[in-house]
Structure 1
């Protein structure tokens, strides 16, 4: 998967271009870890309120 960010500042005549390439497995693993962390935080929060 490729992520491309492009911005142009015409008054300053500057161009910003950034490209990032990630493997699909890396994206899936990162998403799973982040979702798991959010789920755990929600679970701990719910248990704390009881």
Structure 2
């Protein structure tokens, strides 16, 4: 099942698209991480 999904992903997306997808995924994760960290730091300052 997994290999079939992998083939479909590589069939529909070329290498550049995959690179872009990974880049944006990492960017989103970093943004989420920083927003959570900033929220925790502000909560600590308030308390």
TM-score (norm 1): 0.62
Note the residue ranges of structure 2 that are not aligned, 5 or more in a row: 42-47
Distance in 1 between the 2:19 and 2:31 partners?
18
Would you say 1:27 and 2:18 are equivalent positions? yes
Q: Which one has a larger percent strand, Structure 1 or Structure 2?
A: 1
Q: Which one has a larger percent helix, Structure 1 or Structure 2?
A: 2
Note the residue ranges of structure 1 that are not aligned, 5 or more in a row: 7-18
Aligned residues: 36
Q: How does 1:10-21 map to 2 (within 5 A)?
A: 19-20=7-8, 21=11
Higher relative contact order (CA 8 A, sep 6+): 1
Distance in 2 between the 1:5 and 1:25 partners?
20
Would you say 1:5 and 2:1 are equivalent positions? no
